[in-house]
Structure formats: C-alpha cells, structure tokens
C-alpha cells in the first residue's frame, strides 16, 4: 500500500480556506491602508500649499500695516509741528516781504 498525499478531510479543507481567507484579509487591508495614506498625503500637500498662500498674504498685510504706521507717525509729527507753530498753513505778511 502506497501513501497518498492528496487525502483531504473536511477539517483540513476548512483550515486551508481559513488560512487563505486570513491572507486575503491582510493583503486587502494593507492595500486599503496604503490608499488611505496616499489620500492623506495628498490632502496634506493641498493643505500645505494653501498655508503657503495664506502666509504670503499675511506677509503682504503685515507690510501694508507697517507702511500705514509710518504714514500715521509722519502725520502725527506734522500735527505736532503745526501745533507748535513750526508749520504755517496760511502765509503771513512777514512771508510776503
């Protein structure tokens, strides 16, 4: 009597199907996770480009505020000079001579 290698029982078949199903679950689960990671990386890339744009706009706004502050400082200086009489708004008779 020769040994047979292809002798399967229902238990052996169930075990093979369980192992195969587990492997498929791991493979497809990893694939889904990788797709999720790729989507997350793409979303982060988009968010980063939006942040770069916002930072650029913020820099422009800060520059505008600095220029406005300079103008206000110059205006305050002119007002102080006018109050102290260093600047005349209307010519006087002395200026005409």
Q: Considering the domain boundaries, does residue 95 fall inside one?
A: no
Token digits of residue 43: 């979303």
Q: Considering the domain boundaries, does residue 70 fall inside one?
A: yes
Q: Considering the domain boundaries, does residue 64 fall inside one?
A: yes
pLDDT in tens, 42-97: 888 888 888 999 999 999 999 999 999 999 999 998 888 888 777 666 666 665 55
- Contact (CB, 8 A) for 89 and 82: yes
Distance CA 80, CA 87 (A): 9
Q: Considering the domain boundaries, does residue 6 fall inside one?
A: no
Q: Considering the domain boundaries, does residue 8 fall inside one?
A: no
Q: Considering the domain boundaries, does residue 23 fall inside one?
A: yes
Tally of domains in the chain: 1
Structural domain harbouring 29: 13-88
pLDDT in tens, 28-46: 888 778 877 778 888 888 8
* pTM over cut 0.75: no
Q: Is the pLDDT of residue 16 over 60?
A: yes
Q: Considering the domain boundaries, does residue 1 fall inside one?
A: no
Distance CA 60, CA 49 (A): 17
Burial class (CB in 10 A: 0-12, 13-18, 19+), 51: exposed
Q: Considering the domain boundaries, does residue 53 fall inside one?
A: yes
- Contact (CB, 8 A) for 63 and 72: no
């Amino acid at each position: 009597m020769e040994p047979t290698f292809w002798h399967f029982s229902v238990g052996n078949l169930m075990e093979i199907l369980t192992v195969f199903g587990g492997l498929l679950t791991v493979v497809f689960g990893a694939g889904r996770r990788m797709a999720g990671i790729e989507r997350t990386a793409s979303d982060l890339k988009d968010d980063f480009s939006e942040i770069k744009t916002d930072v650029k706009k913020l820099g422009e706004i800060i520059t505008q505020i600095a220029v406005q502050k300079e103008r206000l400082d110059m205006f305050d200086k002119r007002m102080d000079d006018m109050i102290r009489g260093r600047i005349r708004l209307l010519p006087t008779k002395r200026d005409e001579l």
